[in-house]
């Protein structure tokens, strides 16, 4: 009897799920609910590819965020790996337990937290700090769309100054929290920034993270056309502009001690980055202040990379 007409049919039983062709590279499968041009979708696809190329696999822990809605409606799922949906504040704690059990059982595969900026910079930072302090054997990836996207676009502490959100209608006045420095100060095994606009650099850093033990933190700049009020087709260009203008430097840090800068910014004018996103009002952005801040932050990074270079 075909599974679909079985009298004991239970929604969600494996044999009833549609057979979506999925290569072993496929972490994010068709049917997901993400908006067009979503950086998180591209990030998941690139993560899946890097895992496949490394011959590795993972279980995901995802707190409340667009990433947990991505799977679509029960009983199907767009994720091709096991996923635990955690509470907002506790994803690193969930992942710590899963990683410990995996290691106690001598099992393989990565435990990866896939969380938004709201869950990372704000609501989950206590459990993330605790997991980092214990140097738990897990990978934490924050896809930073600089907004509470899933609940209508409120500001987070990752929202950049000048950005209009539903809770900062005239533009955010505070700066963006430097989460990389916070994580690096925990002396975690590895911390790196990722851009979907630089796929080779992205893949190499994910593979570096896969090859290490302990807590590994990856920060992904993740365009969100819905929250950024940008064209979906501009997403890749936007993140490339952010890297080129020095707004989002690409670098990596080992054990909180040794640094490597991956790309020297072209120091292109950030004006185009801002203009292509209707979340920024012209009055709220001081381009000269922004340029100066980017230069100063990068010079600080350069000093660290020169004083404490990572030599493999």
Ligand X SMILES: Cc1ncc(C[n+]2csc(CCOP(=O)(O)OP(=O)(O)O)c2C)c(N)n1
Strand ranges for the chain from DSSP E: 58-62, 83-85, 110-116, 139-144, 190-195, 216-221, 251-254, 258-261
Please give the Cα distance from 163 to 207 (Å, whole number): 33
According to DSSP, the residues that pair with 58 across neighbouring strands are: 110
Among the residue ranges 33-41, 89-97, 180-188, 195-203, the one whose residues contact ligand SF4 (CB under 6 A): 33-41
User: Binding to Mg ion by residue 59, rule CB under 5 A?
Assistant: no
User: Using the rule CB under 6 A, which residue among 37, 149, 162, 197 binds ligand X?
Assistant: 149
User: Using the rule CB under 6 A, which residue among 149, 162, 171, 256 binds ligand SF4?
Assistant: 149
> Could you give the 3-state DSSP secondary structure of residue 309?
strand
Nearer Cβ to Mg ion (117/252): 117
| Residue owning tokens 């979503």 | 38
User: Binding to ligand SF4 by residue 66, rule CB under 6 A?
Assistant: yes
Q: What part of residues 37-66 is at the interface with ligand X (CB under 6 A)?
A: 64-66
Nearer Cβ to ligand SF4 (33/213): 33
Torsion over CA: 230, 234, 238, 239 (sign): positive
Number of residues counted as binding ligand X (CB under 6 A) = 17
Number of residues counted as binding ligand SF4 (CB under 6 A) = 11
- Phi, psi torsion values for 298, nearest 5 degrees: -70, -40
- Phi, psi torsion values for 272, nearest 5 degrees: -65, -40
Nearer Cβ to ligand SF4 (140/228): 228
The contact set with ligand X (CB under 6 A) reads 64-67, 88, 116-119, 123, 145, 147-151, 156
The contact set with ligand SF4 (CB under 6 A) reads 34-35, 38, 40, 66, 145, 149, 224-227
């Amino acid at each position: 009897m075909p599974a679909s007409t079985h009298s004991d049919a239970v929604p969600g039983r494996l044999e009833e799920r549609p057979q979506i062709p999925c290569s072993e590279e496929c972490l994010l499968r068709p049917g997901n609910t993400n908006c067009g041009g979503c950086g998180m979708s591209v990030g998941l696809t690139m993560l899946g590819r890097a895992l496949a190329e490394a011959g590795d696999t993972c279980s995901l822990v995802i707190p409340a965020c667009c990433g947990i809605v991505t799977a679509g409606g029960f009983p199907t799922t767009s994720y091709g790996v096991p996923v635990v949906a955690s509470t907002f504040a506790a994803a690193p704690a969930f992942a710590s337990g899963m990683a410990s059990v995996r290691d106690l059982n001598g099992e393989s595969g990565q435990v990866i937290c896939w969380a938004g900026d709201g869950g990372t910079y704000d609501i989950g930072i206590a459990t993330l700090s605790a997991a980092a302090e214990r140097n738990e054997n897990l990978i934490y990836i924050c896809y930073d769309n600089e907004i509470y996207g899933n609940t209508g676009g409120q500001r987070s502490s990752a929202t950049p100054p000048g950005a209009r959100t539903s809770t900062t209608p005239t533009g955010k006045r505070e700066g963006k929290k430097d989460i990389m420095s916070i994580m690096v100060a925990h002396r975690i095994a590895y911390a790196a920034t990722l851009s979907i606009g630089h796929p080779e650099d992205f893949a190499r850093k994910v593979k570096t993270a896969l090859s290490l033990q302990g807590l590994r933190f990856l920060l992904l700049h993740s365009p969100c056309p819905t929250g950024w009020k940008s064209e979906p087709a501009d997403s890749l260009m936007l993140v490339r502009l952010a890297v080129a203008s020095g707004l989002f430097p690409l670098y990596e840090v080992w054990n909180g001690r040794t640094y490597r800068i991956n790309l020297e910014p072209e120091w292109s004018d950030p004006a185009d980055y801002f203009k292509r996103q209707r979340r920024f009002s012209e009055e709220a952005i001081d381009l000269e202040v922004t340029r100066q801040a980017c230069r100063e932050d990068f010079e600080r990074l350069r000093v660290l990379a020169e004083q404490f270079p990572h030599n493999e």
